[in-house]
Amino acid sequence: MTRDEALAIMHEFVQSPNLRRHMYAVEAAMRFYARKLGADEEKWGITGLLHDFDWEIHPNMDDHPIKGAAILRQRGVPEEIVHAILTHAPERTGLYPQTPMEKALRACDEITGLITAVALVRPSKSLYDLKVKSVKKKWKDKSFAAGVHREEIEQAVADFGVELWEHVANVIEAMRGIAPELGLDGSLAQGRQNAA
């Protein structure tokens, strides 16, 4: 499967710009780790890109990603990628991450959302000047991004075998590589200044 084929599936099923940006962020983090670990960057990236493709058509925990897996199989997505996507929600699928790619997906998924939220509350609205200490400060504030399951992130990162704050630094670096596509390159802050 090529990235273009995966993008076509994603664009068919995902209309929300925010959900698309989340999926791009997870793809970037997965590609970062594939390079770091000498793994198949295309396969890891496609796994990140497709992991939430069915959220808009199955927006509840009973169906996502289980019903989405059937669609991916019909579209010819390799079983290794489908299985990895199923393992990113083990509490629902009963399938727990075993391979490095599966563990990476679970470790990268929710942390991208927290990093995005932290970047968006900064005056710069940018990943380029975002430091780990800013994420750490917001991590401790349980009312900030309250929907982020910090304990699950800690467990997923530990299972992946990376120290939490090193992982945050890695994911920030990965997301910086596509900051304009994520809307986190400072252009939002610049637009606000121009409007003022």
* Domain ranges for the chain: 3-184
pLDDT of residue 190: 61
Question: How does residue 189 score in pLDDT terms, banded at 50, 70 and 90?
Answer: low
This prediction's pTM: 0.93
> So what's the pLDDT on residue 94?
85
pLDDT tens profile 67-102: 999 999 999 999 999 999 999 987 888 899 999 999
Closest by CA to 156, choosing from 120, 94, 110, is 110
Higher pLDDT, 64 or 26: 26
- What does the alpha-carbon distance between residue 56 and residue 145 come to, in Å, rounded to a whole number? 21
Closest CA to 180 of 134, 125, 133, 138: 125
142-166 pLDDT, tens per residue?
A: 999 988 999 999 999 999 999 999 9
Tell me the C-alpha distance between 12 and 14, whole Å. Answer: 6
pLDDT tens string 108-151: 999 999 999 999 999 999 999 999 999 999 999 999 998 899 99
Whether the link from the prior residue into 97 is cis, omega within 30° of 0, is no
Q: What is the CATH number of domain 3-184?
A: 1.10.3210
Among 129, 89, 95, smallest CA distance to 109 is for 89
